[in-house]
């Protein structure tokens, strides 16, 4: 379970990096399929960066990046052995371990193992400026896309609406669409707002803000407090997107890299080690990776660490 701590403290820090060639090669020759999300989100470019690192740094490894509907689908695929590494939101990981059927998990996913807590996802709700909306409460009677049904993003949306005393029934129209499709509808004035849970600098929202006048809706810190762990209060800093002149309070939830128990200890060790030795590569792939720190990697996981990841953290003096 996550501990409540101050947002700034959780994600501060930096890590020195080295070259891929310096990493010792794993003896395992396992196939590594990396489960990500939509190509316009943050998971996908980071997955591509990891795939490159692992392909070069793990001897005999064959890597692949798979675009998916993100958290819920990724965790179910891991349980079925159809992936070796996946990105997922912390609340989805918790629901998966518990077997929460309403969240999309028919039974507890007991094969899941953690590699690392990584960067936070920020809930970013963008509305067309012409709607006049500035807060979530202003979405009453308006159309909103909340991501694919029972995706990690949609689970975030449900939780936030509930904490604010609202429901989907308050909306004029509800859509379950991927980030990029939601943006296209907004460009064509067929949708008022989109809720997207991702790292800052989301490509779809950058595209939207560069072509439309939009407003990012505020979510008060009291909502994060009402939700409790794994949600925390966060801020979308001014200037993150074109035309965004002020900080916007919102809620955030930590992402995790997850694997399963059948992945070899050596492969999991190398996946963990290579990521932290090459954070510069991930940051070059997407700025959201700036929120990844070694110090926070073992904090708040709702599932057990994989023995390979545990070995790396013990070497680093974290366990």
Residues of the chain with pLDDT under 70: 1-29
Are both 167 and 246 inside the same structural domain? yes
Query: Which pLDDT does position 13 carry in this prediction?
Result: 36
Query: How far apart, in whole angstroms, are the C-alpha atoms of residue 99 and residue 96?
Result: 5
Are both 243 and 271 inside the same structural domain? no
Phi, psi at 52, each rounded to 5°: -65, -45
Are both 221 and 295 inside the same structural domain? no
Query: Which pLDDT does position 51 carry in this prediction?
Result: 98
Query: Which pLDDT does position 29 carry in this prediction?
Result: 62
In tens, the pLDDT along 163-218 reads 999 999 999 999 999 999 999 999 999 999 999 998 899 999 999 999 999 999 99
Are both 93 and 176 inside the same structural domain? no
Are both 239 and 302 inside the same structural domain? no
Are both 234 and 130 inside the same structural domain? yes
Whether the pTM exceeds 0.85: the reply is no
Query: Which pLDDT does position 146 carry in this prediction?
Result: 97
Is position 2 within any domain? no
Domain membership of residue 89 as a residue range:
7-119+254-315
Are both 97 and 129 inside the same structural domain? no
Q: Cis (ω within 30 of 0) for the bond into 209?
A: no
Are both 114 and 22 inside the same structural domain? yes
Counted domains in the chain: 2
Is position 108 within any domain? yes
Q: What is the DSSP string of 49-108?
A: HHHHHHHHHSTT-EEEEE--S-HHHHHHHHHTTS-SEEEEEHHHHHHHHHT-GGGT-SS-
Instruction: Point out which residues pair with 65 in neighbouring strands.
Output: 34
Are both 230 and 305 inside the same structural domain? no
Are both 185 and 66 inside the same structural domain? no
Query: Which pLDDT does position 41 carry in this prediction?
Result: 86
């Amino acid at each position: 379970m996550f501990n409540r701590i101050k947002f700034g403290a959780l994600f501060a820090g930096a890590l020195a990096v080295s070259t891929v060639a310096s990493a010792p090669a794993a003896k395992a020759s396992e196939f590594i399929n990396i489960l990500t999300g939509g190509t316009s989100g943050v998971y996908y470019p980071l997955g591509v960066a990891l795939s490159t690192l692992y392909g070069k740094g793990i001897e005999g490894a064959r890597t692949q990046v798979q675009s998916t509907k993100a958290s819920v689908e990724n965790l179910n695929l891991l349980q079925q052995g159809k992936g070796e590494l996946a990105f997922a939101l912390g609340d989805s990981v918790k629901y998966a371990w518990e077997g929460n059927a309403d969240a999309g998990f028919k039974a507890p996913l007991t094969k899941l193992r953690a590699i690392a807590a990584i960067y936070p996802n920020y809930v970013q709700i963008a509305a067309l400026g012409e709607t006049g909306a500035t807060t979530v409460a202003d979405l009453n009677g308006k159309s909103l896309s909340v991501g694919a049904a029972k995706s990690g993003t949609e689970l975030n949306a449900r939780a936030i609406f509930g904490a604010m005393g609202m429901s989907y029934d308050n909306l004029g129209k509800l859509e379950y669409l991927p980030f990029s499709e939601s943006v296209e509808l907004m460009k064509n004035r067929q949708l008022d707002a989109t809720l997207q849970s991702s790292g800052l600098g989301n490509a779809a929202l950058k595209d939207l803000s560069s072509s439309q006048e939009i407003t990012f809706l505020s979510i008060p810190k009291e909502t994060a407090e009402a939700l409790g762990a794994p949600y925390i209060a966060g801020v979308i800093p001014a200037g993150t997107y074109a035309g965004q002149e002020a900080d916007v309070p919102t809620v955030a939830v930590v992402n995790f890299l997850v694997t399963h128990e059948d992945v070899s200890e050596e492969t999991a060790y190398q996946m963990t080690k290579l990521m932290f030795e090459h954070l510069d590569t991930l940051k070059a792939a997407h700025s959201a990776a700036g929120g990844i720190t070694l110090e926070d990697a073992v904090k708040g996981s709702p599932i057990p660490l994989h023995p390979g990841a545990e070995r790396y953290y013990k070497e680093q003096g974290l366990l």
